[in-house]
């Protein structure tokens, strides 16, 4: 299996979640359906799975390894665009967290911001995924030898194995702080 295989499988999971979000956005009463808990769960998925797990493997492993490969100008430009898009998604998700906090605290005017940010993210991911799947992944693999691709797959596995510990160490620290701070 090429390293793009697991990345494309992750894309299918992201598409499923974004598809559910889009269905919510398409409901006539959508601003009332975005309760704070739904948004919190969506943010957790976007931050942990889509960004840290998926984009993490792309940026920390795939893009890192490709950066030394003498990529053609077009492919290098696409890689730079993808990195910038990942940064946009992080910033937009951060804005969503703030808007959701306002909504959770009872600020009814935050519904508009939450809905707009959710719509922005729902529009972003399908286009971003298509750019990676159709315009980047396959051509990028031609720059890696079979041995480099196998090594990358192994690094992906190790990367994924460390994520659960990374996430729950952070949560443990937050919970410890909450007890100490109260």
Taken in order of first residue, the domains within the chain and their CATH numbers are: 4-181 (1.20.120.520)
Nearest one of 40, 39, 50 to 16, comparing CA atoms: 50
Q: What is the pLDDT of residue 179?
A: 67
Q: What is the pLDDT of residue 180?
A: 64
pTM of the predicted model over 0.85: yes
Answer yes or no: are the C-beta atoms of 58 and 160 closer than 8 Å.
no
DSSP state for residue 29 in the 8-state scheme: T
Token couple for 22: 């889009």
Nearest-angstrom CA–CA distance, 100 and 118 = 11
What are the CA-CA distances from residue 145 to residues 9, 47, 61, 114, 149 (Å)? 22, 31, 15, 45, 6
pLDDT per position as a tens digit, 44-76 = 999 999 999 999 999 999 999 999 999 999 999
Q: What is the pLDDT of residue 171?
A: 84
Q: How many CA atoms lie within 13 A of 100 on its CB side?
A: 20
Q: How confident is the model at residue 170 (pLDDT cuts 50, 70, 90)?
A: confident
Whether pLDDT at 166 is above 90: no
Which of the pair, 89 or 112, is modelled with greater confidence? Answer: 89
Contacts 24+ apart (CB under 8 A), 21-28: 21/118, 21/121, 21/122, 22/122, 24/118, 25/115, 25/118, 25/119, 25/122
The whole-chain average pLDDT of the chain stands at 92
User: Could you write out the DSSP letters of every residue in 4-65?
Assistant: HHHHHHHHHHHHHHHHHHHHHHHSTTHHHH--HHHHHHHHHIIIIIIIIIIIHHIIIIIIHH
Whether pLDDT at 22 is above 80: yes
């Amino acid at each position: 299996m090429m390293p793009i295989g697991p990345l494309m499988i992750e894309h299918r999971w992201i598409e499923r979640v974004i598809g559910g979000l889009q269905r919510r956005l398409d409901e006539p009463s959508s601003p009332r359906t975005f309760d704070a808990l739904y948004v919190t769960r969506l943010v957790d998925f976007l931050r942990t799975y889509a960004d840290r797990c998926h984009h993490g493997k792309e940026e920390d492993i795939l893009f890192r390894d490709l950066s030394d490969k003498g990529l053609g100008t077009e492919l290098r430009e696409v890689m730079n665009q993808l990195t910038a898009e990942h940064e946009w998604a992080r910033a937009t998700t951060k804005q969503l967290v703030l808007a959701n906090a306002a909504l959770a605290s009872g600020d009814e005017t935050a519904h508009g911001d939450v809905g707009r940010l959710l719509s922005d993210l729902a529009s972003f991911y399908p286009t971003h995924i298509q750019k990676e799947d159709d315009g980047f992944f396959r051509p990028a693999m031609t720059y890696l030898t079979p041995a480099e691709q196998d090594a990358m797959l192994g690094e992906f596995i190790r990367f994924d194995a460390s994520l659960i510990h990374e996430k729950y160490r952070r949560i443990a620290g937050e919970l410890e702080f909450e007890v100490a701070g109260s």
